[in-house]
Structure 1
Amino acid sequence: MLTIRVVRESRAPSAGPGAPGERRVALDPTTAGKLARAVSADADQSIVMVDAGAGRFSHFADAAYDDVSGVQVLEAGQHAEDAGLVLCVRPPEPELIDSLAEGTVLVGLLSPFQSRELLERCKARRITALAMELVPRISRAQSMDALSSQAAAAGYHAALTAAHEASVFFPMLTTAAGTIRPARVIVVGAGVAGLQAIATARRLGAQVWAYDIRAAAREQVESLGARMIDTGVDASGEGGYARELTDDERAAQAEALAKHLSTAHAVITTAAIPGRPSPKIITEDMVERMQPGSVIVDLAAEGGGNCELTRPGETVEHNDVKIVGLLDIPSQLPVNTSEMYGKNLFNLLTPFIRDGELVLDFDDAVIGPMCVTRDGDIVHEGVRKALEDKA
């Protein structure tokens, strides 16, 4: 019978409220119970073993897990060494990998392009590692796509941050002192995060323009009540991501974007490419042409930022323009983001649970592309090549 372990995040906050660190947990109590029942209908069996305190910072107490049939909280310092499936949010410490039994399946946001030591340990222990970042963007996998679920939260939070940091009201206000016009907001990148930022900024009453080099994004942008900035450049690429621009295309889009940025009160940038540095879209010159008191909220800060002046994890000012380099935003909304991430895992794994065991099909259109290590080797060609190039 399959035993599932939910680990306490190694990068969880070390102090109290407000301390930096990972606040999410891989399974919330409700989803943990559903996954346990998918393995076995026997209510007396403990299927999902949760590390003590795993849900503390996402506001799921140990007692909430213990109250669920099929779920058990481990004692402090205790580990489920016989677990065949281990679930995490962020890449676990290498020491945790060393404690796993050979052949264990590890699933999480593993940052495979940056986690050489982790993958080497997985190879040595013959761990099968599935990276949630590598879930393919196909229709069948939409309910499993953790990048999209977490990006929706990031886009929502970015719009609220922009409204908080801006020096103007977002909505139009009619007051005894006169009418205040709504803020002008530009969202760079109309993927999941960008569309959620657009929708949230619109709900707050702002006038919103969107910039995206994929022509296909126009319909979605306009359906949310925003207007598309037309640059004359279409860089639609494979898998729903934008391709890299040529020098001439980059110059054309920069000129069109700079004109609009100069009138904006708030800018939200969301253009990120998994495993690669974030593209630099907003130059120092563009920032210097922006209005005094305007703000840039850079969601791509973890990859270095879409703005040349972004400092990851910091808020800086340049020429009276504030630049906010947000990091790990989904972790700031841990209740809902943990619930969404848990559902992603549930939807991914349950089709492969048969007669109480996990039977993965590596020829499957979802499992195959997201498998990074298996049988003592790095089997994902893109990850292997990227690590070799960095060696």
Structure 2
Amino acid sequence: MYFSLEDRSVLLRFDKNILLFIYLSFVVLFSQIPIFSVYYIVRGMSSFMMIIGVLFIFINWKILIDKSYIRDKLILFSVYFISFSSFFFNDDIPSPVELLFPLFVYFVVRIKNIYRICIYDYFIRLLSLIFLLGICEFIFFLFTNRLFFDFGYVEREDAGQVFVHGLFSMINVGEIFYRFQSIFDEPGRVGTLCGFMLFILDYNRYRKEFIVFLIAGILSLSLAYYVFLVIFLFIYIFSIRSLRQIILLLCVAITFGVAYSYNKDAFDVGVFDRISVGYENGTLDNRTKDSAKSKLITDFNNGDIYWIGHGLNASLGNGNAGLFSRYYSIGIIGIILLFITYNSLLFTHNYSSNRMLLFFVFWLSFYQRDYYFNPPDILLVTTYCSMPVLCNKSK
């Protein structure tokens, strides 16, 4: 049996678990906060929060957990296969977070649909609130070069970046133009997450949240987000049947127009110039350097195929990410396992056109960013795909 998000009265009957659902939604959100943030109070904090969440779920096992399916176990099998093969073949010891993420995700996926809807609902509302406050702080900084409340400077040592840290937004002061990243580690993470929201949110229910995610994605200047936005608009234009949909389209156009007029140089450099360069090079992939691609292609042509990869912590060097980087670290077998596992989650019940669209968007996102088993992605995708009513949005 499946429940509509509109049936809020059903969700409120389970008030004794509401605090747990709020906590789990907060854990999913907190998994995105970088260790250099002032909100990351102690080392290993996200791992500790996940352990508590898993324990609470385990204590309420009989009430919360649904019947186990093969697809649920695939999450544990594929990730732990990748982790332990990385250890046995490359002496690469997985970090606690790499071991806890899949366990936490496994328990969240196994929660009954109606309970997972509640977590999904709180997560979307909590994230949109943080983004809204972050957008206000970000815009205030653009005009005044100040934040509402300044925690001072923080440094991301692995990338040599320095940020001024506000309550709901961090600003990379070393960039020639500013991009919105809220309290996440980089604008691209905000852009990718907001890109997903374009396709999975029920606009009739989450109208305000949709607008917030739309603006956050635009201000992130994430090329991936703009690719998702173009795909969304292309499909949306051909499905317009009501005045409300026309108004939504106008909101998108006005939001982009206002943002562009106030920050033209940033848009030109951050988005349009990258598209122009990508067009000249025949690809929009700027996540992998040419030298790294050349090395991988040469190795492949010489018969040096990475079946297992070089280990989870192996790197092609700074500035490289995406599918090529993941191929180098976990190999062909690891990527195939991830492909099978995610598709089993995407196509939980049927192969509708909406699922196929989400399939395309999800793997396009993975190609350029490769956050495998990222808690927000799993929560959003599995909840969307396990609720047919969510896939048949009101027009």
Provide TM-score, normalisation by structure 2.
0.25
Please identify which structure carries the higher strand content: 1
Q: Which has the larger radius of gyration?
A: 1
TM-score, length-normalised on structure 1? 0.25
